[in-house]
């Protein structure tokens, strides 16, 4: 590292046994103070590590934990070495201490245990929380990961381009953040949800391969794996590219990232799963392949059932080898489903004599018992868990149940990584009003021509793909539709006429009429990759200055009210709350 000579000669993590005898200066924060007789032991901390100091009592009378100090002293060998410290073979006999920054206030929490503190308190004093070792490592990892990504794409001949932060509001996707224009009264910019249109325009401009690590903004509710305001995306696009070209480039990126930063061997090519197969086998388009459990549709088995809870319903079932479990095990799973607005969960357990007990066993006929055992390959001491509901809800609840059963039985290796491509998404779907709408990205290329789409639009697949890691959608992309005439036709099927395309996407539509190459690309959730690499449950813990779950920042008090003068400058009058 580069050392600034006025305050230190070396950092707090670098001194070793071979430095014994040297007179050096160190600077950092006082981590601990421990008095023993007339001698005081202090540990000094910076971003790089911790070094123990031996200080005469006369020099420490005005020192507090978290004071910033510079010390001058001699490196000596420790009599009681600490193998848990990189500098544990030495210590500094201090001759002089200079206080550089005094910590006069009582700490709101102990730095080392800040992760156990209430989140809003941590975020209010985020500058203190970031002093903790785990956060220092997170910031360094984030920096190293960004450097690795940039290096990877530069080596492949990609050009890094920064696209605009102020752009036009887009009708599709999540809710925009709007920015009023002072110079254009009554008009607004929008912060970009992604650089989607700009990167496609770069392909039309003749750029062959583009990337950037882009800030993106979406006004969404917070989730454990989603920041409620802004996030960073590894964005890329390639001209004259197919889906296979994107897979090769991105598999190389992810293989390198997880081998270098997680120390695991990643096999390529990644598993590929069709969307319809993912829904059938896992009841999710984001399947966690660490979980060995699969879903079976048993609606046909119970088509003649007299059990009212199953009549006329879509019935999904999951088999798991549970052994004999107490009733409370099943009750917790029932509560898990009802907490997600499900009607409940039914279950059966196969005894040694191949008879079912528990739950709904008295409603299962002999014919249904034999059919279940054969269809699901059920063995002794297996349990079968059932969800019966309307189709879409049954799928959603069963997908959640699959994960909960696996967690309850300890079937998931928390240190493992499983990658899969989910491909062949449907181009259209039916909404709640019974109308056809785009199911994913309206700018994707369909796997059919217009004549085929006219015959059966709901059967058409898109060249749309997601990369799923451990059940998290970590990348989404598509082969783009670069044909303006086809674009107009595709929007017609979703109820939009040509004027909508021309008015809502004028730059893209017009640009394509000047000669656009076939192109494809993707966006990777940078923060989500950080979350997976660090085994964090909350994405906020891998962001330097995150918002809380209510999209507020306790550190700066954002969002805040502003002066009437500022509102007047941007031609806004607030409407009283109704």
Is 291-408 a CATH 3.30.565.10 domain?
no
CA distance 199 to 203: 7
* pLDDT for residue 1: 57
Question: What Å distances lie between residue 368 and 300, 371, 372, 387, 417, CA to CA?
Answer: 10, 5, 6, 16, 38
Portions of the chain given CATH number 3.30.1360.30: 291-408
Out of 1.10.260.40, 3.30.930.10, 3.90.930.60, 3.10.20.30, the CATH code matching 135-273+418-543 is 3.30.930.10
Portions of the chain given CATH number 2.40.50.140: 17-101
Query: Can you give the pTM of this predicted structure?
Result: 0.92
Helix (H, G, I), strand (E, B) or coil at 383: strand
Residue 141 CB neighbour total at 10 angstroms: 15
Residue burial 25-44, b: 16+ Cβ < 10 Å; e: rest: bbbbbbbebeeeeeebebbb
CA distance 233 to 159: 16
CA distance 238 to 208: 6
Q: What is the DSSP string of 127-165?
A: HHHTTSHHHHHHHHHHHHHHHHHHHHHHHTT-EE-PPPS
Could you read off the pLDDT tens digit of each residue along the chain, which spans 578 residues?
Answer: 566 778 999 999 999 999 999 999 999 999 999 998 888 999 999 999 999 999 998 888 889 999 999 999 999 999 999 999 999 999 999 999 999 999 999 999 999 999 999 999 999 999 999 999 999 999 999 999 999 999 999 999 999 999 999 999 876 667 899 999 999 999 999 999 999 999 999 999 999 999 999 999 999 888 888 888 999 999 999 999 999 999 999 999 999 999 999 999 999 999 999 999 999 999 999 999 999 999 999 999 999 998 999 999 999 999 999 999 999 999 999 999 999 999 999 999 999 988 999 879 999 999 999 999 999 999 999 999 999 999 999 999 999 999 999 999 999 999 999 999 999 999 999 888 888 989 888 889 999 999 999 899 999 999 999 999 999 999 999 999 999 999 999 998 888 888 888 888 888 889 999 999 999 999 999 999 999 999 998 899 999 999 999 999 999 999 999 999 999 999 998 888 76
* pLDDT for residue 372: 94
* pLDDT for residue 349: 95
* pLDDT for residue 578: 65
Portions of the chain given CATH number 3.30.930.10: 135-273+418-543
Cβ contact 375:301 at 8 Å = yes
CATH code given to domain 17-101: 2.40.50.140
* pLDDT for residue 173: 66
Angle, CA 555 vertex, CA 552 and CA 560 arms, to 5°: 50
Strand runs labelled E in 47-89:
49-56, 68-77
Tokens 């081998």 — which residue?
259
Give 534-557 as a 3 state SS string. Answer: CCCCCHHHHCCCCCCCCCCECCCC
């Amino acid at each position: 590292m580069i050392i600034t000579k006025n305050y230190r000669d070396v950092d707090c993590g670098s001194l070793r046994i071979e430095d014994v005898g040297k007179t050096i200066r160190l600077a950092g924060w006082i981590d601990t103070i421990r008095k023993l007789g007339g001698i005081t032991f202090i540990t000094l901390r910076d971003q790089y590590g911790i070094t123990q100091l031996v200080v005469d009592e006369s020099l420490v009378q005005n020192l507090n934990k978290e004071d910033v100090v510079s010390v001058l002293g001699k490196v000596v060998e420790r009599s009681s070495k600490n193998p848990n410290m990189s500098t544990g073979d030495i210590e500094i006999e201090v001759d002089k201490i200079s206080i550089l920054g005094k910590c006069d206030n009582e700490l709101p929490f102990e730095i080392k245990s800040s992760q156990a503190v209430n989140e809003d308190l941590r975020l209010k004093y985020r500058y203190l929380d970031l002093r903790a070792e785990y956060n220092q490592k997170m910031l360094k990892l984030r920096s190293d990961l960004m450097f690795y990504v940039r290096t990877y794409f530069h080596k492949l001949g990609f050009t890094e381009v920064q696209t605009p932060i102020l752009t036009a509001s887009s009708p599709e996707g999540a809710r925009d953040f709007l920015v009023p224009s002072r110079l254009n009264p009554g008009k607004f910019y929008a912060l970009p949800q992604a650089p989607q249109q700009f990167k496609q325009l770069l392909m039309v401009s003749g750029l062959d391969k583009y990337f950037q690590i882009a800030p993106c903004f979406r006004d969404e509710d917070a989730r454990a794996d989603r920041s409620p305001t802004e996030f960073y995306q590894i964005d890329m696009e390639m001209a004259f590219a197919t889906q296979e070209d994107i897979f090769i480039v991105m598999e190389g990126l992810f293989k390198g990232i997880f081998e270098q930063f997680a120390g695991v061997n990643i096999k390529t090519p990644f598993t590929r799963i069709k969307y319809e197969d993912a829904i059938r086998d896992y009841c999710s388009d984001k399947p966690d392949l660490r979980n060995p459990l699969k879903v079976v549709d048993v609606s046909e088995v119970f088509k003649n059932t007299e059990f009212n809870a199953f009549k006329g319903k879509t019935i999904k079932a999951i088999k798991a080898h549970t052994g004999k479990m107490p009733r409370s095990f099943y009750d917790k799973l029932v509560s898990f489903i009802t907490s997600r607005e499900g009607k409940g969960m039914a279950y059966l357990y196969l005894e040694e004599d191949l008879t079912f007990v528990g739950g709904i066993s008295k409603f299962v006929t002999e014919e249904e018992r034999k059919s279940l055992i054969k269809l699901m390959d059920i063995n002794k001491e297996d349990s079968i868990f059932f969800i019966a509901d309307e189709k879409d809800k049954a799928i959603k609840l069963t997908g959640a149940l699959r994960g909960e059963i696996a967690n309850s039985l300890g079937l998931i290796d928390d240190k493992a990584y499983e990658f899969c491509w989910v491909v062949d998404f449907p181009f259209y779907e039916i909404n709640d009003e019974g109308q056809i709408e785009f199911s994913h990205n309206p700018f994707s290329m369909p796997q059919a021509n217009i004549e085929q789409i006219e015959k059966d639009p709901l059967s058409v697949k898109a060249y749309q793909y997601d990369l799923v890691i451990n059940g998290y959608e970590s990348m989404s992309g598509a082969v783009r539709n670069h044909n303006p005439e086809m674009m107009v036709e595709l929007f017609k099927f979703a109820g939009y006429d040509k004027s909508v395309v021309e008015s809502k996407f004028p730059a893209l539509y017009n640009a394509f009429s000047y000669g656009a190459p076939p192109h494809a690309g993707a966006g990777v959730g940078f923060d989500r990759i950080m979350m997976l690499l660090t085994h964090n449950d909350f994405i906020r813990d891998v962001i330097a200055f995150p918002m809380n779950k209510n999209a507020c920042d306790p550190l700066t008090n954002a969002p805040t009210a502003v002066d009437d003068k500022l509102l007047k400058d941007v031609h806004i009058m607030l409407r009283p709350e109704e």
